[in-house]
Amino acid sequence: MTTPGTLHHVEVWVADLAEAQRSLGWLLSALGYQPRDTWPQGSSWVHGASYIVIESGPDVRGEHHDRRRPGVNHLAFHAGSESDVDGLTQESRRHGWSLLFADRHPHAGGPHHYAAYLENRDGFEVELVASA
């Protein structure tokens, strides 16, 4: 039995499924998520009791995600040590991610918060947080 309040799943709607699977799918796999299901309009990855869905289809409106509009701004993941965050940040560039707040990296979240803020080509942001 899972603990009440534990996140069950997140569904991310995307305009370009192939691009999202390439960038976000790579990142989820690098963070320990395992592919779960695939169907013509989407796919999912599971990690423990939670899973993440990437889906596109006729109900998706718009062609670009804007993290500054009302709604979810980004997903933040525990990403291991500072060295792990650095390695994922380096590798992410080969998978369509760019570093946000580069002038303040890796402390864009404050002096005691080691993280990388990444954005993919579709404008979706993730935060990779180092363990204390």
- Give the model's pLDDT for residue 94: 95
pLDDT digits (tens, 9 = 90+) for 102-120: 999 999 999 999 999 999 9
In a domain, 103, yes or no: yes
In a domain, 62, yes or no: no
Given a cut of 90, whether residue 4 has pLDDT beyond it is no
Given a cut of 80, whether residue 132 has pLDDT beyond it is no
In a domain, 63, yes or no: no
Distance from C-alpha of 102 to C-alpha of 63, rounded to nearest angstrom: 26
In a domain, 23, yes or no: yes
Average pLDDT, the chain: 93
Cross-strand partners of 25: none
Provide the number of structural domains found in the chain.
1
In a domain, 52, yes or no: yes
State the CATH number of the domain containing residue 87: 3.10.180.10
The domain of 101 spans 9-57+72-129
pLDDT digits (tens, 9 = 90+) for 11-48: 999 999 999 999 999 999 999 999 999 999 999 999 99
In a domain, 76, yes or no: yes
